[in-house]
Amino acid sequence: MTVVLVHGNPETAAVWDPLVAALREAGVTDVVPLSPPGFGAPVPPGFSATVDGYRDWLIGELERLDGPIDLVGHDWGGGHVVTALMERPELVRSWASDVLGIFEPDYVWHDLAQAWQTPGVGERHIAAMLGGTPAAKAERMVGNGISPEVAERLAAGQDEAMQACVLRLYRDAAQPAMARRGEALGRLAARPGLAVLATEDHFVGDEALRRRGAERAGAQVAELRGLGHWWMVQDPNRGAGVLLAFWAGLDG
Per-residue pLDDT tens digits for 18-50: 999 999 999 999 999 999 999 999 999 999 999
Q: How far apart are CA 213 and CA 76, in angstroms?
A: 16
Question: Cα 193 to the chain's mean position, in Å?
Answer: 15
Handedness of CA 100, 230, 168, 3 (dihedral sign): negative
Would you place residue 1 in the very low, low, confident or very high pLDDT band (cuts 50, 70, 90)? Answer: confident
Residue 252, pLDDT > 70, answer no
Predicted structure pTM score: 0.97
Write out pLDDT tens, residues 212-236: 999 999 999 999 999 999 999 999 9
List domains and CATH numbers for the chain. Answer: 2-108+178-250 (3.40.50.1820)
**Collapsing DSSP states into helix, strand and coil, what is residue 235?**
coil
